Structure 1
Amino acid sequence: MSLLTNPVIALFLSVSLGYLIGRIKLGPIEIGGICGTLFVALLLGQLGVTMSADLKNTAFALFIFSLGFTAGPQFFANIRGGWRFGMFSVIEVVVALALTLGFALVFGFDPGTVAGIFAGSATESAVVGTASEAISHLNLPASQIEALQANVATAYSLTYLFGLVSIVVFATQIAPLLLRINLRHEAHKLAAELGQSGDEEGEGSFPTFVERAFHLDEHAGLDQGLSAGEFERIYNWAVTVSGLKRGDALVEVDISTPLQKGDVLFIRGRRNAVIGVAQHLGQEVPMPHGVGFRVSTREVILSFAQAFGTNLRELGEIAPPELRRGVFVTGIRRMGNAIPSLPRTVLQQGDVLTLYGPEDVVAEAAARLGTELPPQDKTDFVFMGAGIVVGLLIGHISIMVGQMDLTLGLGGGALVSGLVFGWINMRRPALGALPTAASNFAKDFGLAVFIAAVGLQAGPAAITQLKTYGLVLPVLGVVVSVGPALVSLLLGRWVMKLPAPILLGAIAGQHCSTPTVTALVEKAGNGTPVIGYTVTYAISNVILPLMGPVVVGLAMAMGAPAAE
């Protein structure tokens, strides 16, 4: 057993076994590696493992800066134009905070327990860090501060699991019943409204983009002399005449090239669009040998101001004629999540668009739409280290509000710094490289190490708190988790009139609950819930961690008792 009290062994054992436990599924729900890590750490903490506070703070700074870095582009974009969805994040904070403080008055919870209930019910692990740090600045004896911080971890562990299960069940099962809808039917209906055809729903292993050849015989339904550009405009640039064969000659095509009876047209585009126009083009014929076209795929960070708030079809209309032809958006990533790239999908600043088409045209389109995402395989540690140091300096700023000394602290400061540095990286991708894989590792590993350190330190006090409150905390976790979701459901459906899949995705986002949106996508049968998820997730990921010091300060102002 002496080996288990070694801090390094206990730390990595907590992470390893925790993530193994986190793979356990309850229906569509996984408890997750972070929650599993905390459970194991609390258990090992009974052996009296001693952890360095510096290790815990370093891991949390790494996690929270990386979180802000990845959220920065979408957060600032949504501040300007996304507060319609941002209201759900506000509802999450206000309702969850009101319920938590109300229960604190009824049950006489200490500030640590109050913060833990808020963090677990909102399924936001970062609150554990910001609240624990705020507690460390209270004017209390060291023993009481340690007890309060232990109560944060224990209350979080007891409410997180029940909060997670309840929000998944509410969003996927209860909410559709309250709305009296079939979620899969509504999701497919919404996808059709966004421009998805029935052919696209079950593409499976079929290629998304194709090139076909058609003979313009006497049965073709095209006007004689119609230009290639006019033909493409009729079909909203969903297809492109990539070339043609006239007699024995291959002809390069531009927008002014006239189409004539007897031509063999080479049509390129999305498979469903090519199938749609085929009925007007006469008989399909084999593609001539050696006529294939060279294409490339590039990813670009959208910063073209005229494109913000437009959909993909409108983007095609405002693009110059030479860029409309042959360039297709094959994918859109927002906050690292793929959203449907359909004609009526609305674009936001910071979206990562995947462009597909002829190499020269794609390169020009990428330059006009924003900044091409460079291949990144190394982290710029100068940029990252400077960002964390700036965050720590910001965290030392404090403001007195009545009797409360409000400070962002290490966590809040690093989060704000991460947001700004992430926004800078979006505008200048060559500056401050933090590859997606690296940022994901920093977030996951930093949070896992922090949570393990908190659990190991809190272990001995966990049993005491569990005996004190018993099943009260899990029940409160359900109530505080479902309460904001229910308010958002009522507001979003009957006041804001949002489509059900987007509304339920927004509810998942306000809880920062990836398992919930994953379950929604599976139940919906397509990615439409992600459209509502990304905006609220970006905003909640910033607002909720900043609430840690606020929750502690309000609990103290209400006269909550300090831990014994």
Structure 2
Amino acid sequence: MGVLRDHPELALFLCLAAGYLLGKLRVGPLTLGGICGTLIVALLLGAWTKVTVSDDVKTIFFALFIFALGYMAGPQFFAHLNRGSLRFFTLCLIEVVCVVGIALGLAGAFDLDVGTASGILAGAATESAVVGTATEAIGKLSGLTQQQIAQYQGHVATAYTVCYLFGLITIVIYTSQVMPMMLRINLRDASRELWEKMRGSGGGLEADEREALPGLVGRTFLVTHADGTTVADLEHRLGGRVTVEAVKRGSKVLTPPPPGFTLTLSDLVLTVGRRSHIIEAGRIIGPETPAVPGLDTPLATTQVSLTDKAAVGTSIDTLTREHPEFASGGVYVTDVLRGDQNLPATPETVLHRGDVLTLVGSRSGLGKLAAKIGATVRNDATDFIYLGLGIACGSLLGQVVVRFGDVPLSLGTGGGCLVSGLLFGWFRSRTQTFGAFPPQAATTLKDMGLAVFIACTGLVSGPQAWPLLKQYGALLPFAGIAMVLVPATVSLIVGRKLLKIEKPLLIGAIAGQQCSTPAITSVTQVAQSSVPMLGYTITYTLSNFLLPLTGPLLVGVLGA
């Protein structure tokens, strides 16, 4: 125990290891998750050892977490600020109003201190970021001693832990089991029907999914029907959708063949194009043959961020028709990445500004085309200039204090870095030629920042945990359940009766407004479809911005 006190870094990383191990335990569809597991271990270890960790450590790691969170969500957050997403934004406002209102009501009815009320809000809303923003805001309250500040910050962590457990169980069961019964639907059938209606819009794939039948293929054909046809005429007959990459005549291989080259019987032709067009090519050229040694040509790949204003809002089919370089250079769009979502590159897929298109084709053709429609993506190493500047700007923004009467409101370092992250992430997405922050690096920094912050909070808060549980033991589970059921039920009624949101999307959106990944996981398992994810991603992005700001708001009101 003395070793842990003398070396808090040992206790810190021990909490991470044991906490994430505890978080892997599964009961049915429920798992605690690494963050909640880390907090439980840290509270127990802190109560036993009374380890002290510098507040600066918490502040730095929380700033890293919240900036990375905002950076990753920024492009989608601003993309959802439109009329089409207004009805989903309404659900997020319902969540914010309900949880803040209930927290204030419980604080007044049961004479809760500011830390306990904030912890109840954070836990019941299953939003870990609120722990950080509320804890920081408590530290800035005037008229409190250091002992009171430490006590209230400890109450945040303890109340969060208890309410999180009950809130998590409630939202998972309510969305996946109860809501389909309330809406009188079979979630699996309803999701399938909705998907059939939406298929023409090119629905998205998960980050770890790929099409079973790739769109771009290469095939070799034996020339029979195309005897006497030039390469240019053949490509023209195929509508410019297929390119002839190589021709083998005897032992001679032409790569690429000249446009005026005339095909003769028994030539072997290598073509590249979309699967449906390649099938048509076989009818025009001749029978397909197995791969022929020596008859192959490498294709270059590059990622381009779409910035051409004329191309924004058009389909891939329109883009390729309006830019003849696609056909003449043998270039194809094989993937579309929007934020962290992979979309199928079908001809009907509509493109947005900042979409990352994967282009495949000849190296010379790629270079010319990339310069016309956008900018080549540079995302191989983190731009620490951009990262450092973003966190610095967020920290400065967090120091601004606005007073509403007697209530001082401040974003704090957490809220400031969240806003900064959103703006810097959105600005980067517009061209993606600067400010690189690879998704894997951003995810690692986000997870590590939150985990270390939570561990620090738990270690410091451990001694205050047991007295709070004895004082409010029965209230905390009740609060955790109520603060899930009330906003979720109101959202269900408003979303269906007034906003007319499709039922599978509405269930997913309610899981998203609660920022509950376990809930949407359970919902998609019941639905056996990813359709509810389409509603979840919108509200999840918006709530990830709005809910952390409720921490300083609640602390400011109660502290006054």
Output the TM-score relative to the length of structure 2. 0.83
Residue among 441, 453, 463 paired with 1:450 = 453
Task: Provide the rounded CA distance (Å) in 1 between the counterparts of 2:408 and 2:112.
Answer: 21
| Contact 1:335–1:538, Cα closer than 8 Å, also in 2 | no
The alignment status of 1:180 with 2:185, answered yes or no, reads: yes
| Contact 1:92–1:511, Cα closer than 8 Å, also in 2 | yes
Task: Provide the rounded CA distance (Å) in 1 between the counterparts of 2:171 and 2:449.
Answer: 25
Residue among 289, 298, 301 paired with 2:302 = 298
1:160-201, Cα deviation, whole Å (9 max, x unpaired):
23323333333333333325033352465256333589xxxx
Give, in angstroms, the shift of residue 15 of structure 1: 1.1
Residues 464/55 of structure 1: CA separation in 2 closer, same or farther (3 Å cut): same
Residue among 61, 64, 83 paired with 2:63 = 61
Task: Provide the rounded CA distance (Å) in 1 between the counterparts of 2:248 and 2:368.
Answer: 29
| Contact 2:74–2:422, Cα closer than 8 Å, also in 1 | yes
Give, in angstroms, the shift of residue 523 of structure 1: 4.7
| Contact 1:74–1:349, Cα closer than 8 Å, also in 2 | no
Task: Provide the rounded CA distance (Å) in 1 between the counterparts of 2:427 and 2:384.
Answer: 15
Aligned match of 2:478? 475
Task: Provide the rounded CA distance (Å) in 2 between the counterparts of 1:207 and 1:386.
Answer: 41
Aligned match of 1:122? 125
Bigger shift: residues 108-117 or 186-195: 186-195
Residue among 212, 219, 222 paired with 2:219 = 212
Residue among 155, 159, 163 paired with 2:167 = 163
Bigger shift: residues 496-505 or 548-557: 496-505
Aligned match of 1:354? 358
| Contact 1:337–1:530, Cα closer than 8 Å, also in 2 | no
State the one-letter code of the partner of 1:30: T
Give, in angstroms, the shift of residue 548 of structure 1: 1.2
Residues 281/348 of structure 1: CA separation in 2 closer, same or farther (3 Å cut): same
| Contact 2:311–2:319, Cα closer than 8 Å, also in 1 | yes
Aligned match of 1:409? 412
CA RMSD of aligned residues (A): 3.9
Residue among 390, 400, 403 paired with 1:400 = 403
Task: Provide the rounded CA distance (Å) in 2 between the counterparts of 1:19 and 1:187.
Answer: 37
| Contact 1:501–1:528, Cα closer than 8 Å, also in 2 | yes
Secondary structure, aligned partner of 1:79: coil
Task: Provide the rounded CA distance (Å) in 2 between the counterparts of 1:273 and 1:487.
Answer: 50
Give, in angstroms, the shift of residue 365 of structure 1: 3.9
Matches within 5 A, 1:102-501: 102-142=105-145, 143-177=147-181, 178-183=183-188, 185-186=192-193, 188-189=195-196, 192-195=199-202, 209-213=216-220, 228-229=235-236, 231-232=238-239, 240-242=242-244, 267-271=271-275, 274=278, 283-286=287-290, 290-316=294-320, 319-323=322-326, 326-377=330-381, 379-427=382-430, 429-501=432-504
State the one-letter code of the partner of 2:201: L
Task: Provide the rounded CA distance (Å) in 1 between the counterparts of 2:78 and 2:535.
Answer: 17
State the one-letter code of the partner of 1:210: V
Residues 329/481 of structure 1: CA separation in 2 closer, same or farther (3 Å cut): farther
The alignment status of 1:554 with 2:557, answered yes or no, reads: yes
Question: Gaps (5+ residues) in structure 1?
Answer: 220-224, 558-564
Secondary structure, aligned partner of 2:380: coil
Residues 255/450 of structure 1: CA separation in 2 closer, same or farther (3 Å cut): farther
Output the TM-score relative to the length of structure 1. 0.82
Task: Provide the rounded CA distance (Å) in 1 between the counterparts of 2:164 and 2:95.
Answer: 15
The alignment status of 1:536 with 2:539, answered yes or no, reads: yes
Secondary structure, aligned partner of 2:358: strand
Give, in angstroms, the shift of residue 114 of structure 1: 2.0
Task: Provide the rounded CA distance (Å) in 1 between the counterparts of 2:478 and 2:217.
Answer: 55
Task: Provide the rounded CA distance (Å) in 1 between the counterparts of 2:223 and 2:499.
Answer: 50
Residues 250/532 of structure 1: CA separation in 2 closer, same or farther (3 Å cut): farther
Task: Provide the rounded CA distance (Å) in 2 between the counterparts of 1:485 and 1:273.
Answer: 48
Task: Provide the rounded CA distance (Å) in 1 between the counterparts of 2:265 and 2:497.
Answer: 55
Question: Gaps (5+ residues) in structure 2?
Answer: 227-231
Give, in angstroms, the shift of residue 53 of structure 1: 1.1
Between the two proteins, the alignment pairs up a number of residues equal to 543
| Contact 2:203–2:343, Cα closer than 8 Å, also in 1 | no
Give, in angstroms, the shift of residue 37 of structure 1: 0.7
| Contact 2:245–2:297, Cα closer than 8 Å, also in 1 | no
| Contact 1:228–1:258, Cα closer than 8 Å, also in 2 | no
Aligned match of 2:74? 72
Residues 344/404 of structure 1: CA separation in 2 closer, same or farther (3 Å cut): farther
Task: Provide the rounded CA distance (Å) in 1 between the counterparts of 2:13 and 2:516.
Answer: 25
Give, in angstroms, the shift of residue 206 of structure 1: 5.9
Give, in angstroms, the shift of residue 526 of structure 1: 5.2
Aligned match of 2:509? 506
Give, in angstroms, the shift of residue 550 of structure 1: 0.9
Aligned match of 2:25? 24
Secondary structure, aligned partner of 2:61: helix
Residues 538/555 of structure 1: CA separation in 2 closer, same or farther (3 Å cut): same
Residues 36/304 of structure 1: CA separation in 2 closer, same or farther (3 Å cut): farther
Residue among 81, 94, 97 paired with 1:94 = 97
Residues 230/422 of structure 1: CA separation in 2 closer, same or farther (3 Å cut): same
Task: Provide the rounded CA distance (Å) in 1 between the counterparts of 2:287 and 2:559.
Answer: 78
Secondary structure, aligned partner of 2:80: helix
Task: Provide the rounded CA distance (Å) in 2 between the counterparts of 1:506 and 1:261.
Answer: 60
Residues 76/194 of structure 1: CA separation in 2 closer, same or farther (3 Å cut): closer
Residues 482/295 of structure 1: CA separation in 2 closer, same or farther (3 Å cut): farther
Task: Provide the rounded CA distance (Å) in 2 between the counterparts of 1:263 and 1:191.
Answer: 44
| Contact 1:93–1:544, Cα closer than 8 Å, also in 2 | yes
Aligned match of 1:12? 13
Give, in angstroms, the shift of residue 41 of structure 1: 0.8
Give, in angstroms, the shift of residue 427 of structure 1: 4.2
Q: Sequence identity of aligned pairs in percent?
A: 42
Residues 492/30 of structure 1: CA separation in 2 closer, same or farther (3 Å cut): same
| Contact 2:378–2:434, Cα closer than 8 Å, also in 1 | no
State the one-letter code of the partner of 1:34: I
| Contact 1:195–1:343, Cα closer than 8 Å, also in 2 | no
| Contact 1:229–1:254, Cα closer than 8 Å, also in 2 | no
1:207-227, Cα deviation, whole Å (9 max, x unpaired):
5532234578779xxxxx987
1:394-422, Cα deviation, whole Å (9 max, x unpaired):
11111111211111111112222222332
| Contact 2:247–2:254, Cα closer than 8 Å, also in 1 | yes
